[in-house]
């Protein structure tokens, strides 16, 4: 089945492989950390599957209740708040150039709106601000971020009101 679906327990090996392919400015996170995002907000986490049903991209997001973003390498334990925090979007080399990232972002924004969340935020890394600005995310200038996010990390926000 080609397309977007919920993450299943059997997808984590593929998710870890994708993560290791695409991140070069930050150290990949542990399985435990990534799974914590999914276990607290599974309705906000998706994979994109190829024709064999294998994940070739994923997005992990969770509810958040603070104005300051969570640090990397930290497990999420609560599913509360009115903010969607997009923790991680990764598209494998096999999925590159097919608008899969765009489809996953649209899916998580729609899911967040359906859950009644009011705002979305993320940390843009690896010079991805241009990608995120296409979804109406705006840079928050002057926000002090954890060094774990890398040198060019930028907090970005957008409203989810329609």
What average pLDDT values come out for the chain (162 residues) when binned by 10 residues?
A: 93 95 80 88 96 97 84 72 93 94 98 95 93 96 80 92 67
pTM (two decimals):
0.92
Tell me what pLDDT residue 31 has: 86
The radius of gyration of the chain from alpha carbons, rounded to an integer in Å, stands at 15
Tell me what pLDDT residue 80 has: 74
127 DSSP assignment: T
Reference 150, options 130, 121, 116, 127; nearest CA is: 127
Segments of the chain assigned E as strands = 3-6, 46-49, 55-64, 83-91, 119-124, 138-139, 154-159
Tell me what pLDDT residue 117 has: 95
CA distance 81 to 119: 10
What are the structural domains of the chain? 3-118 (3.40.630.30)
Tell me what pLDDT residue 24 has: 75
128: its two tokens: 């991805």
Sign of CA dihedral 142, 86, 94, 23: positive
């Amino acid at each position: 089945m080609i397309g977007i679906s919920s993450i299943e327990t059997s997808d984590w090996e593929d998710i870890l492989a994708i993560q290791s392919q695409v991140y070069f400015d930050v150290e990949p996170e542990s399985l435990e950390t990534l799974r914590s995002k999914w276990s607290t907000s599974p309705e906000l986490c998706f994979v994109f599957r190829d024709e064999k049903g294998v994940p070739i991209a994923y997005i992990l997001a969770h509810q958040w209740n603070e104005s300051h973003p969570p640090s990397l390498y930290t497990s999420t334990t609560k599913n509360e708040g009115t903010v969607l925090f997009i923790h991680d979007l990764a598209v494998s080399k096999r999925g590159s150039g097919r608008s899969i990232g765009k489809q996953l972002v649209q899916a998580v924004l729609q899911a967040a709106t359906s859950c009644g969340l009011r705002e979305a935020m993320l940390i843009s890394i690896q010079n991805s601000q241009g990608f995120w600005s296409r979804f109406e995310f705006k840079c928050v200038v002057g926000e002090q971020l954890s060094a774990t996010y890398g040198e060019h990390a930028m907090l970005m926000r957008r409203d989810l009101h329609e």
